[in-house]
Chains A and B, each alone.
Chain A
Amino acid sequence: MHALYNFVTGPLAWVAFILFFGGMIYQITSRTLLARAKDGVVFEYWNFYYALRSILHWICPFASTNSRRHPVLTVVTFAFHLALLAAPLFLFAHITLINEAFGLSWWFLPDGLADGFTLLVIAACIFFAVRRQIQPDVRYLSTGSDYAVLFMVAAPFVSGFWAYHQFPGYSVVTILHIVSGEILLAAIPFTRLSHMFFFPLTRGYMGSEFGGVRMARDW
Chain B
Amino acid sequence: MLDVAKVTQEKILDVGIEEGAADLTPERIQAVIRQTLASEGGARIKTYVDTCVSCGLCSDACHFYLSNNKDPRFAPAGKVKQTLREMIRRKGAVSVEFMKKASEIASTECNLCKRCAMYCPFGIDVAFLMLFVRRICHKLGITPQYIQDTANSHSATYNQMWVKDDEWIDSLLWQEEEAQEEISNLRIPLEKEGAEIMYSVIGPEPKFRAQLIYQAAVIFNVAGLDWTMPATPGWDNSDMCMYTGDNEMMARLKKAHFETAMRLKVKKIVMGECGHAFRSVYDMGNRALGWRMPPVRTVHAIEFFYELIRDGRINILQKYDKPVTIHDPCNVIRGRGLHEMLRYVTHAICAEVIEMTPNREHNYCCSAGGGVINCGPPWKMKRVDGNKVKAQQLFEAKSKGAQTCIAPCHNCHGGLEDIIHHNEIGMDLKFLGDIIYAVMEKPEHV
Do B72 and A192 touch (CB < 8 A)?
Answer: no
The chain A residue with its CB closest to the CB of B60 is A69
On whether A32 and B337 interact (CB within 8 A), knowing A192-B50, A202-B48, A219-B118, the answer reads no
A195 and B42 within 8 A (CB): no
Task: Report A123 CB to chain B, min CB distance, Å.
Answer: 18
CB–CB A199/B72 < 8 A: no
Instruction: Give the contacting residue for B65; candidates A65, A137, A201; CB below 8 A.
Output: A137
**Cβ-defined partner of A216 (8 Å) among B46, B53, B292, B333:** B333
CB distance from A124 to the nearest CB of B (A): 13
Nearest residue (CB) in A for B77 is A141
Contact A34 B336 (CB under 8 A): no
Contacts A42-B43, A194-B50; A203 near B121 (Cβ below 8 A): yes
Show 6 residue pairs from A and B whose CB-CB distance is below 8 angstroms, ordered by the A residue: A39-B42, A39-B44, A44-B292, A136-B1, A203-B122, A204-B123
7 more contacts with CB within 8 A, not counting A66-B119, A69-B60, are: A66-B118, A192-B51, A194-B50, A202-B123, A216-B334, A216-B339, A217-B361
In the bound assembly, the distance between CA atoms of A67 and B137 in angstroms comes to 35
CB–CB B283/A213 < 8 A: yes
| B335 CB-CB contact with A under 8 Å | yes
Interface residues of A (CB under 8 A from B): 31-32, 34-35, 37-39, 41-42, 44-45, 54, 58, 64-67, 69-70, 73, 132, 134-143, 146, 149, 192, 194-195, 198-199, 201-207, 210, 213-219
CB distance from B94 to the nearest CB of A (A): 17
Closest B residue to A128 using CB positions: B55
Q: Does B75 contact A (CB under 8 A)?
A: yes
Q: How far is the CA of A32 from the CA of B50 in the complex (A)?
A: 15
Q: Which of A146, A198, A213 contacts B122 (CB 8 A)?
A: A198
Cα of A137 to Cα of B43 in the assembled complex, Å? 27
Tally B residues with Cβ within 8 Å of A.
Answer: 51
Q: What is the CA–CA distance of A43 and B334 in the complex, to the nearest angstrom?
A: 21
Chain A neighbourhood of B72, CB < 8 A: 136-137, 139-141
Known A-B contacts A206-B125, A207-B123; A136 and B70 likewise in contact (beta carbons under 8 Å): yes
Q: Which of B1-23 contact A (CB under 8 A)?
A: 1-2, 4
Select from chain A the residue with minimum beta-carbon distance to B61: A66
Does B47 interact with chain A (Cβ within 8 Å)? yes
Contact between A142 and B54, CB atoms less than 8 A apart: yes
In the complex, how many angstroms separate the beta carbon of A62 from the nearest chain B beta carbon? 13
Chain B: CB-nearest residue to A218: B118
B122 engages A195 (CB within 8 Å) = yes
Contact of B54 among A39, A65, A141, A198 (CB under 8 A): A141
Q: Within 8 Å of chain A (Cβ to Cβ): is B209?
A: no
Q: Which residues of B lie under 8 Å from residue A31 when comparing CB positions?
A: 43, 46-47
CB within 8 Å: A-B pair count: 137
Distance (whole angstroms) from the CB of B237 to the closest CB of chain A:
18
Residues in B with CB closer than 8 Å to A139 are 1, 72
The interface residues of chain B lying within 8 Å CB-to-CB of A54 are 123
- In the complex, the answer to whether B59 meets A137 with C-beta atoms within 8 Å is yes
Least CB separation from B362: chain A residue: A65
Please state if B44 and A35 are interface contacts (CB–CB under 8 Å).
yes
Residues in B with CB closer than 8 Å to A141 are: 54, 56, 72, 75, 77-78, 81
Which residue from chain B places its CB closest to the CB of A32 in the assembled complex?
B43
Contacts of B117 in A (CB 8 A): 206, 210, 218
Contacts of B337 in A (CB 8 A): 214-216
User: Please, which residues of chain A bring their CB within 8 A of the CB of B361?
Assistant: 216-218
Whether B378 sits at the interface, judged by CB under 8 Å, is no
B52 within 8 A of A: yes
Verify A138–B119 contact, CB threshold 8 A. no
Say whether B44 contacts A42, CB under 8 Å. yes
Within the complex, the shortest CB–CB distance from A212 to chain B, in Å, comes to 10
Name the one of A35, A146, A204 contacting B43, with C-beta atoms under 8 angstroms. Answer: A35
Given A66-B121, A140-B72, A192-B51, decide whether A134 and B4 contact each other with a Cβ distance below 8 A.
no
Q: How far is the CA of A38 from the CA of B36 in the complex (A)?
A: 12
Q: Are B70 and A140 in contact (CB under 8 A)?
A: no
Whether A39 contacts B43 in the complex (CB less than 8 A), given A141-B77, A195-B122, comes out as: yes
A100 to B406, CA, bound (A): 70
Cα–Cα distance between A201 and B125 once the two chains are bound (Å): 13
- Interface contact B118-A140, CB-CB below 8 Å: no
CB B340 to nearest CB in A, in angstroms, measures 10
4 shortest interchain CB distances as A-B pairs: A38-B42, A206-B123, A215-B337, A140-B72
Which residues 125-179 in B have Cβ within 8 Å of A in the complex?
Answer: 125
**Contact status A205-B123, CB under 8 Å:** yes
When distances are taken between beta carbons in the complex, the residues of chain A under 8 Å from B70 are 136-137
Q: Across the interface, do A41 and B287 meet the contact criterion of CB distance under 8 Å?
A: yes
Tell me whether B426 is interfacial, beta carbon within 8 Å. Answer: no
B54 touches A38 (CB 8 A): no
B123 and A194 form a contact (CB under 8 A):
no
Given contacts A34-B43, A202-B47, contact A138 B55 (CB under 8 A): yes
